[in-house]
Amino acid sequence: MSLAPVGRVLLRDVALARIREAIVAGVLAPGAVVKDAELARDLGLSVAPVRAALARLADEGLVEAKPQSHTRVTPLRVREVHDAAVVVRVLHELATREAVPAVSPGDLAAMRAANERFAAAVASGDVDAALAADDDLHGVLLDRCGNGALTATVARLTPAVRRLERARFAAAHGRESVDLHDRLIAACAAPDVDAAVATTTEIWTALLSELTEETPDGAD
List domains and CATH numbers for the chain.
6-73 (1.10.10.10), 78-211 (1.20.120.530)
Asked if residue 6 has pLDDT above 60, the reply is no
Q: Which pLDDT band holds residue 7 (cuts at 50, 70, 90)?
A: low
- The residue-averaged pLDDT of 17-37 equals 93
**Which of 139, 133, 131 has the alpha carbon at shortest distance from 210?**
131
Asked if residue 160 has pLDDT above 50, the reply is yes
Asked if residue 9 has pLDDT above 70, the reply is no
Distance CA 138, CA 51 (A): 31
pLDDT at site 172: 73
- Name the most confidently modeled range: 20-29, 91-100, 202-211: 91-100
pLDDT at site 5: 56
Q: Which pLDDT band holds residue 4 (cuts at 50, 70, 90)?
A: low
Distance CA 91, CA 113 (A): 23
**Which of 15, 171, 194 has the alpha carbon at shortest distance from 97?**
194
Asked if residue 149 has pLDDT above 50, the reply is yes
Q: Give the chain's mean pLDDT.
A: 90
**Which of 82, 50, 68 has the alpha carbon at shortest distance from 212?**
82
pLDDT at site 209: 87
Tell me the β-bridge partners of 71: 34, 65
Asked if residue 167 has pLDDT above 90, the reply is no
